Amino acid sequence: MFCKSNEELDTLVNDARKVASLGKVADYIPELGKANGNDLSIAIHYPDGNCISAGDVERKITLQSVSKVISLALVLMDRGYQYVFDRVGMEPTGDPFNSIARLERANVAKPLNPMINAGALVVTHMIKGNNVEERFQRLLNFIHDIADNRKIGYSTNVAQSEFETAYLNRSLGYFLKQHGLINEDIEQLLGLYTRQCAIEMNCLDLARIGLVLAMDGVDPSSGKVIIPVDVARICKTFMVTCGMYDASGEFAIKIGIPAKSGVSGGIMGAVPGKFGIGIFGPALDEKGNSIAGIKLLELLSKKYRLSMF
């Protein structure tokens, strides 16, 4: 086991927390602005069921963009590779997550990848179900299976707060509808997307999800395949190429593990074949990644040689 004790993690968390004051909590979703920028916690989940942690790991956070990896896995299982990638691309953009610029420059207004908001809206649109409620429940049940926790729900406050202020996502949605990539009511889709982003869990659950991806989609405690190996592989590849917004290249060089961040300050990491990581640190850097969370991963990666490259 690479890092055995909570004490070892405590030391690293205290070091990493020093940079939190250089970041800023996201407030474009008003509810997220209430977070304490100084918070930092981490959980590491091993395949043998062992879990180590530091900081207030019981604190719940909303998934925000971390949810994009899980909705992608679900639609790949629902619709298959061809259907999904006919509608959303595989290339990193180098642009901010909510940018509209490239959609207009492309011949077909197909979003470049499923990790940017335009791509994620198309992915959420593809979740199967007879109505919005059923689609949301299917996503939530899938998350219950991966995290092995049926208590996970969503924050109505955060969902509502984002729904009321999601002007940019609304414009992306209408743009994509105009170009035939979405054919449902955009307000309805936004209702589903904002609930997806507001799914709430603690770092332990987040680490458990990272673990299942790290183990190629297999739940190590039951041996059950929750995510087919090819789907898990695609998810991890997107995490490497576009999981950390337009800082994914630097992250791959400095840290070198598949990871996905969200504007709530969450980071979900999957160290292939080894363990899952869940981090919460709401102060963000200028790219939108948890500033202390990245520092913490940098310290861990250096100390324990985690880079897969």
Binding interface with ligand GLU (CB under 6 A): 64-65, 97-98, 117, 162, 169, 197, 262-263, 288
Q: What is the CA radius of gyration of the chain?
A: 18
Nearer to ligand GLU, 54 or 291 (CB): 291
Annotated catalytic residue 69 = no
d(CA 22, CA 292): 9
Q: Could you tell me which residues are beta bridge partners of residue 260?
A: 268
Residues 6+ apart with CB under 8 A from 302: none
Annotated catalytic residue 68 = yes
Nearer to ligand GLU, 50 or 171 (CB): 171
We find the least distance from the C-beta atom of residue 262 to ligand GLU, in angstroms, to be 4
- Tokens at residue 256, please? 């070198």
Nearer to ligand GLU, 25 or 306 (CB): 25
Nearer to ligand GLU, 65 or 155 (CB): 65
DSSP one-letter string for 137-179? HHHHHHHHHHHT-TT-EE-HHHHHHHHHH-HHHHHHHHHHHHT
CB contact at 8 A, 288 and 297 = no
Among 25, 53, 57, 65, the active-site one is: 65
SS3 call for 278: strand
Annotated catalytic residue 307 = no
We find the least distance from the C-beta atom of residue 299 to ligand GLU, in angstroms, to be 23
Among 193, 212, 236, 261, the active-site one is: 193
Annotated catalytic residue 174 = no
We find the least distance from the C-beta atom of residue 64 to ligand GLU, in angstroms, to be 3
Which region, left, alpha or beta, applies to residue 234 given φ > 0 means left and ψ of -120 to 50 means alpha?
alpha
Select from 202, 193, 209 the least CA-distant residue to 258. Answer: 209
Annotated catalytic residue 245 = yes
We find the least distance from the C-beta atom of residue 130 to ligand GLU, in angstroms, to be 25
Nearer to ligand GLU, 25 or 263 (CB): 263
Among 19, 46, 68, 236, the active-site one is: 68
We find the least distance from the C-beta atom of residue 248 to ligand GLU, in angstroms, to be 13
We find the least distance from the C-beta atom of residue 28 to ligand GLU, in angstroms, to be 7
What are φ and ψ of residue 287, in 5° steps?
Answer: -90, -10
Q: How far is CA 48 from the centre of its chain?
A: 24
Nearer to ligand GLU, 51 or 120 (CB): 120
291 DSSP assignment: H
Tell me how far CA of residue 182 lies from CA of 4, 129, 185, 188, in angstroms.
Answer: 47, 15, 9, 12
Active site residues: 65, 68, 193, 245, 263
